[in-house]
């Protein structure tokens, strides 16, 4: 049964070598409170699956990400996350790069417990020709078209942030775009949802049913996290904190700047 957890209880869920799916999109509605708990845990050798933003950059800069599976890694108002770029240039992180539709297809296949999903995206691109794990398939119908057989991307744990959740794990997105967080949650063995507010089920039901993107059967743990997407945007709750994001990006300039930023980001929960 879903329970409202503490940060320490969330940290205890993480293990070395996990595949972690992270919700949000670029520098929008990222579950930063949960990313901080992941960073505080100190676990290593992670495969991070994300429509990437500062979540990916932080885990690259801490050395926890061993591989990043992504369609992009952007800070929106800053086109490329400099921490991710630096780790990639240094060969400190492996990457599996694909277009967004391929990543969606892999998550959707995992959410449906299927081995792959067929699509046209990626045919002839480096995303397929340079990735031996992504294969093609010939249509069994009259057209005999060659298609991409995008393998499922199963996750050990999913981290998602919403405006509101109840203690049972129903999650509500009141903003303009839920992105693909429901697929990330459904592709995972364990789903952790942080919320700006933990409210009653009756309060969730007062909103339009389309705003309920997660139901209690898809959620295992809930963390109350007011401001839990900051410094990324969480509309309509709050905009992106551009000054804080600029400080984060500028911290890629030197190890000393990064250490200072990380100490502020994690506070007393920083790993030894």
Write out the two tokens for 2. Answer: 């879903």
Write out the two tokens for 130. Answer: 């340079």
What topology is assigned to 3-114+154-265 in CATH? Glutaconate Coenzyme A-transferase (3.40.1080)
Write out the two tokens for 163. Answer: 């405006």
Q: Which residues contact 54 (CB under 8 A, 6 or more apart)?
A: 27, 30, 32, 35, 75, 81, 83, 231, 232, 245, 248
Q: Which residues contact 82 (CB under 8 A, 6 or more apart)?
A: 57, 249, 252
Residues 172 and 211 sit within 8 Å (Cβ to Cβ): yes
Per-domain residue ranges of the chain = 3-114+154-265, 116-151
pLDDT tens per residue across all 272 residues of the chain = 668 899 999 999 999 999 999 999 999 999 999 999 999 999 999 999 999 999 999 999 999 999 999 999 999 999 999 999 999 999 999 999 999 999 999 999 999 999 999 999 989 888 898 888 899 999 998 788 999 999 999 999 999 999 999 999 999 999 888 889 999 999 999 999 999 999 999 999 998 889 999 999 999 999 999 999 999 999 999 999 999 999 999 999 999 999 999 999 998 655 54
For the chain, what is the radius of gyration of the CA atoms?
Answer: 18
Question: What pLDDT, on the 0 to 100 scale, is given for residue 263?
Answer: 93
CA dist., res. 50 & res. 26, Å (int): 9
Question: What pLDDT, on the 0 to 100 scale, is given for residue 272?
Answer: 46
Question: What pLDDT, on the 0 to 100 scale, is given for residue 270?
Answer: 56
Residues 34 and 58 sit within 8 Å (Cβ to Cβ): no
């Amino acid at each position: 049964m879903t329970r409202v957890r503490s940060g320490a209880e969330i940290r205890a869920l993480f293990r070395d070598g996990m595949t972690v799916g992270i919700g949000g999109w670029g520098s929008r509605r990222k579950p930063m409170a949960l990313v901080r708990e992941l960073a505080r845990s100190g676990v290593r050798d992670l495969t991070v699956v994300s429509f990437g933003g500062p979540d990916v950059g932080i885990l690259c800069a801490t050395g926890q990400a061993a591989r990043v599976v992504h369609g992009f890694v952007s800070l929106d108002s800053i086109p490329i996350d400099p921490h991710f770029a630096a780790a990639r240039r240094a060969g400190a992180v492996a990457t599996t790069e694909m277009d967004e539709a391929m990543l969606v297809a892999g998550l959707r296949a995992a959410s449906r417990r299927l081995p792959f999903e067929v699509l046209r995206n990626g045919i002839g691109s480096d995303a397929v020709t340079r990735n031996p794990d992504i294969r093609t398939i010939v249509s069994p119908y009259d057209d005999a078209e060659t298609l991409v057989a995008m393998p499922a991307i199963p996750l050990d744990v999913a981290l998602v942030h919403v405006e509101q959740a109840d203690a049972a794990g129903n999650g509500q997105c009141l903003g303009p775009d839920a992105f693909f967080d429901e697929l990330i949650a459904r592709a995972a063995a364990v789903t952790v949802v942080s919320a700006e507010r933990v409210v009653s089920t009756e309060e969730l039901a007062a909103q339009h049913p389309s705003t309920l993107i997660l139901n209690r059967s898809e959620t295992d743990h809930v963390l109350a996290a007011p401001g839990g997407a900051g410094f990324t945007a969480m509309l309509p709750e709050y905009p992106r904190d551009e000054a804080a994001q600029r400080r984060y990006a500028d911290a890629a300039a030197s190890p000393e700047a990064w250490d200072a930023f990380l100490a502020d980001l994690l506070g007393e929960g920083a790993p030894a």
